[in-house]
Amino acid sequence: MRKLVRRLIKFLLDTVTRMDVRGWEHVPEDNHFIVASNHLGLMDAFIGYYTLGHRELFTLVGEKWAKKPIFRFLGKQLNFIFIDRFNPDLKAMRNIIARMKEGKILVIAPEGTRSRTGAMIEGKQGISYLAAKLGYPILPIGIAGSSDKSLLAHLKRLKRLPVTVTAGPLFSLPPLPKEGRDETLAQYTDEIMCRIAALLPQEFRGVYTDHPRLLNFLNESR
């Protein structure tokens, strides 16, 4: 059933989008990494299974979706972890760490929710903590054009939605220091988000548009 669901996801995304996948030379051969992407629309939760469907993945999904039968079904087939986005969720955190140690790839949107602005919103620190604590490198992925509003507009016109998925170079975060952890986690989170923003067209960079770290990345790429 799991393979069938993944094939169905690929078929549906190929039917409703024109998926342009770039930078896949940066994806390592092993499963010892975390995928971090921006989050514009519902389809983003399934793009990892489209691009990395042959790997063992798991994705974090807001607990509100666990109330919907279709998402509970998909959660079983696609290894979703339903997580409380507003309060510390220690049970989910233990589950995440256990799955990563089993060799499954965590796919996470640090923003924690879909952007309502059509561009990046502020990232949360959970991924920074996990990556620094466990020593896992991060694969940044920028997704452009996948908002729910854009998808619905194209479906109404019976047109496929152009979506670009771009992977950037793998990078790692140093271990967390004993002191000043909050400041360090904030810095690490900005690092992750700016690396994602650097993979996106300007109109999708949102709150990170003028961030000094992003400007450094853009200058280095010229």
pLDDT tens for 56-113 read 999 988 888 888 888 889 888 888 988 877 776 778 888 999 999 899 999 999 998 8
Buried-state track 124-141, b at ≥16 Cβ within 10 A, e below 16: bbbbbbbbbeeebebbbb
**pLDDT score recorded for residue 169:** 96
pTM listed for this prediction: 0.93
Residue 16 φ/ψ, nearest 5 degrees: -100, -10
Q: What is the CA radius of gyration of the chain?
A: 17
What pLDDT is attached to residue 120? 97
SS3 content of the chain, % helix, strand, coil (to 5): 45, 20, 35
What distances in angstroms separate CA 35 from CA 116, 144, 171, one per listed residue?
A: 22, 16, 11
pLDDT of residue 64: 84
pLDDT above 90: residue 195:
yes
| pLDDT for position 222 | 67
Average pLDDT, the chain: 92
Q: Is 3.40.1130 the CATH number for 2-220?
A: yes
> Cβ neighbours of residue 1 under 8 Å, at least 6 residues apart?
77
Q: Is it the case that residue 221 has pLDDT exceeding 80? A: no
Distance set, CA 90 to CA 72, 85, 97, 101, 205 (Å): 21, 12, 11, 17, 31
Would you state the pLDDT for residue 146? Answer: 96
Please report, for the chain, the start and end positions of each structural domain, with discontinuous segments joined by +. 2-220
Query: 17-22 and 161-167: which strand pairing?
Result: parallel
Across 15-157, where does the E strand assignment appear? 17-22, 34-37, 57-62, 80-83, 105-108, 138-144
Tens of pLDDT, residues 105-149: 999 999 988 998 999 999 999 889 999 989 999 999 999 999 999
Cα separation of 66 and 119, whole Å? Answer: 26
pLDDT at 88: 67
| Burial per residue of 91-112, b for 16 or more beta-carbon CB atoms within 10 angstroms, e otherwise | ebeeebeebbeeebbbbbbbbb
